[in-house]
Amino acid sequence: MSSSPFPKRNDLVVATVKSVEEHGVTVSLDEYDGLEAYIPRSHVASGRIKDIRDFVKEGDKVVGRVIRADKKLGQVDLSLRYVSETERREKLEEWKERNRVLSMLRLAAQRAGYQDADSVAREAYEKLQAYYKNPLDALEDVIYEGPEPLIKAGVDEKLAEELKAIVEGQLKPPIYVKDLVVKVVSYASDGVERVRRILSRGLEASSGADVDIYAAGAPRYVISIRSKDPKVVKRAASSIIRAMEREVGASDHLELVEERERRKRT
């Protein structure tokens, strides 16, 4: 079962091909307890289709876009044509991460002695998804913060403690990345050198993190900060901005335009 009981129009879904016929393809939706859906022949691929089996076969894992969803009738139609390669790749990665998290939650529930481990795992997943958006982020945070992030999200303390041991054995710390987009301008006669010096001061104050600075179309620059420890990234970001501010003179201007955070999984 999914956190959404029924797919909605325009949703991207992961499906397994059950049968291939002349006029279309029947699939089961992996995220919706095997709910069946149909892919009309004209939506299997762009252009003329001579043989559907040139594009899909029984057992294939596909990503489709919902083009019709009738909950009362229990009918869902999909399109493979309306899914870009990037969307397909990202959706499959999201689905794999979801399964990985559910697997760890299920194992934790079993070890904690819950009767219905599947239900407990799904309920915990929904709580993590509501709090974190990406539940895998929550499990990764356990590596540095212990079970507290899970408990804050509403996961039962006993389950959170079991998860901690599982996470430490199965997950590698991600690379935490923070991008600071800054605008640096100098109206001094040696303005180019002044801008270079301000950016250099920031680079020198990296506080143990890996830092790169590159132009994003002057006068904007991106300061990319990376570390396996999120606290190091946070500390480095503050130190870099403070160091740059100290270097700013009367003829200079420094502005933090945007902050972006992401994780690179190894």
Helices 135-145 and 230-247: crossing angle in degrees, nearest 10, is: 90
pLDDT single digits (tens) 169-206:
999 889 999 999 999 999 999 999 999 999 999 999 98
| Mean model confidence pLDDT for the chain | 93
Contact between residue 142 and residue 149 where contact means Cβ atoms under 8 Å apart: yes
Where in 3-48 does DSSP place strands (E)? 12-21, 24-29, 35-40
Residue 68 has what pLDDT? Answer: 96
Look at residue 31 and tell me whether its pLDDT is greater than 60: yes
The pLDDT-based confidence of 34 (bands split at 50, 70, 90) is confident
pLDDT tier, 258 (very low <50, low <70, confident <90, very high otherwise): very high
Q: Which of 235, 241, 233 is nearest to 202 (CA)?
A: 241
2 — pLDDT class (breaks 50, 70, 90): very low
Q: Sorting pLDDT into bands at 50, 70 and 90, what band is 29?
A: very high
Residue 250 CB partners (closer than 8 Å, separation 6+): none
So what's the pLDDT on residue 43? 96
Q: Given pLDDT bands bounded at 50, 70 and 90, which one contains residue 65?
A: very high
**Predicted confidence band at 21 (pLDDT cuts at 50, 70, 90)?**
very high
Predicted local distance difference test score (pLDDT) of residue 3: 44
Q: What is the mean pLDDT of residues 69-91?
A: 95
Residues 217 and 194: their CA atoms lie apart, in Å, by 17
